[in-house]
């Protein structure tokens, strides 16, 4: 199970989790979005699972607790199946495994295994006999600590993510490195202040493996974890190393991952409450366009302002009748407003119709009708 539920393969700017490939940093970014009520629901199940975990670790008979812990773990799996990044797991595989290993027999066998291991009487060739009992304890430990682990991760990383979101000046690997160095102390310590960054909760190996969808093996850095907080933290920091970082969407306020230095403001998810089922990016683009249209230096407005200045100049020189000038100004404003709302017109006939001679002729025809 260690090779699946709590293992990441890092290669260049990607990460593999449970047979799926993502831009590195994806899991960590999604973990920032897990709602507080989801964590609370998971914690209700964690409390039941921890009863079994505590009894197993104490070396006591935990047979009676297995049915309750199994149902709580399955209930947690249902909660997580709808929530990224946990939804990336092979839910059906883990469900089948949980139903299989949460038995009274495996609970007894784990106590036996732990006792032998503690007294140095466990033979290497015996370990395989306790495989499912070890898997029982592993699921119990991971799922029992999940809500706490996720809460710790969000507590520690949300403030840092907010600062990375504001790092508009340089959203590159180098820029994030400077920001990271100013945020986290360079002196290594596992003191209370940053114990969550301890290296004790992971191990590293390098393996040649064929990545999903490929045919040629790559040498990847494979990291095994004992908690989700360690796994998500690692994914976040590996992402920063290649210029990937969380960004908060200005529409839905969820975190999404940026993978280049572009100053993207909106995610590609569906905008909440939008009856047309548009994405945040679609709505954001419209907002940006509206903001551009309100700007004084908008090209459409610049053409309009230039024409007004010319008309006023002609009036002052006495070469244009004041009443005719007012007609020209009204027509010019109508055309400007039309161009702001009609991209095809703005890119087509707008500039030609706003020419001094064209506008004058149209105004004469308009006044004579």
pLDDT digits (tens, 9 = 90+) for 272-288: 888 888 888 888 877 66
Give pLDDT, residue 188.
Answer: 52
115 part of a folded domain:
yes
| Cα(314)–Cα(325) distance, integer angstroms | 9
Residues 103 and 203 in one domain: yes
Give pLDDT, residue 293.
Answer: 46
Give pLDDT, residue 301.
Answer: 85
289 part of a folded domain:
no
348 part of a folded domain:
yes
Give pLDDT, residue 133.
Answer: 94
Residues 184 and 300 in one domain: no
Give pLDDT, residue 302.
Answer: 86
The pTM assigned to this predicted structure is 0.73
Q: What is the pLDDT of residues 26-75, one digit of tens each?
A: 999 999 999 999 999 999 999 999 999 999 999 999 999 999 999 999 99
Give pLDDT, residue 329.
Answer: 92
Residues 201 and 313 in one domain: no
CB of 16 closer than 8 Å to CB of 220: yes
Which residues in the chain land under pLDDT 70?
1-3, 167-169, 185-201, 287-297, 341, 368-369
Residues 202 and 315 in one domain: no
Q: Dihedral sign for Cα 351, 353, 359, 361, please.
A: positive
Give pLDDT, residue 81.
Answer: 92
280 part of a folded domain:
no
166: its two tokens: 């504001």
Residues 172 and 315 in one domain: no
Residues 222 and 302 in one domain: no
Burial per residue of 200-226, b for 16 or more beta-carbon CB atoms within 10 angstroms, e otherwise? ebbeeeeeeeebeeeeeeeebebbbbb
Instruction: Give the number of domains in the chain.
Output: 2
Structural domain span for residue 66: 1-263
């Amino acid at each position: 199970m260690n090779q699946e539920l709590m293992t990441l393969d890092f290669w260049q700017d990607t990460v593999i989790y449970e047979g799926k490939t993502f831009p590195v940093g994806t899991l960590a970014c999604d973990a920032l979005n897990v709602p507080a009520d989801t964590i609370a629901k998971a914690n209700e199940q964690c409390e039941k699972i921890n009863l079994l975990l505590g009894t197993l670790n104490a070396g006591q008979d935990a047979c009676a607790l297995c049915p309750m812990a199994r149902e709580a773990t399955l209930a947690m799996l249902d909660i997580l199946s709808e929530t990224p990044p946990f939804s990336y797991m092979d839910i059906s595989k883990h469900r089948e495994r949980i139903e299989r290993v949460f038995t009274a027999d495996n609970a007894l066998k784990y106590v036996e295994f732990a006792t032998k291991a503690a007294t140095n009487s466990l033979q290497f060739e015996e370990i395989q006999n306790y495989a499912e009992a070890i898997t029982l304890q592993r699921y119990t430990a991971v799922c029992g600590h999940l809500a706490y682990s996720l809460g710790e991760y969000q507590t520690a990383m949300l403030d840092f993510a907010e600062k990375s979101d504001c790092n508009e000046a340089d959203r590159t690997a180098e820029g994030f490195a400077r920001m990271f160095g100013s945020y986290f102390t360079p002196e290594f310590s596992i003191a209370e202040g940053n114990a969550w960054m301890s290296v004790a909760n992971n191990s590293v190996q390098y393996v040649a493996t064929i990545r999903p969808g490929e045919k040629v093996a790559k040498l990847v850095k494979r990291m095994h974890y004992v908690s989700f907080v360690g796994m998500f933290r690692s994914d976040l920091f590996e992402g920063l190393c290649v210029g990937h970082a969380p960004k908060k969407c200005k529409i839905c306020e969820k975190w999404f991952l940026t993978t280049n230095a572009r100053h993207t403001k909106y995610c590609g998810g569906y905008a909440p409450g939008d009856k047309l089922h548009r994405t945040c990016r679609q709505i954001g683009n419209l907002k940006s366009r509206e903001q551009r249209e309100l700007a004084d230096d908008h090209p459409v407005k610049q053409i309009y302002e230039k024409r007004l200045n010319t008309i006023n100049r002609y009036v002052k020189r006495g070469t244009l009748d004041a009443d005719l000038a007012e007609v020209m100004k009204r027509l010019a404003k109508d055309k400007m407003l039309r161009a702001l709302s009609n991209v095809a017109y703005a890119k087509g006939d707008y500039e030609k119709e706003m020419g001094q001679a064209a506008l004058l002729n149209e105004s004469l025809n308009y006044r004579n009708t």
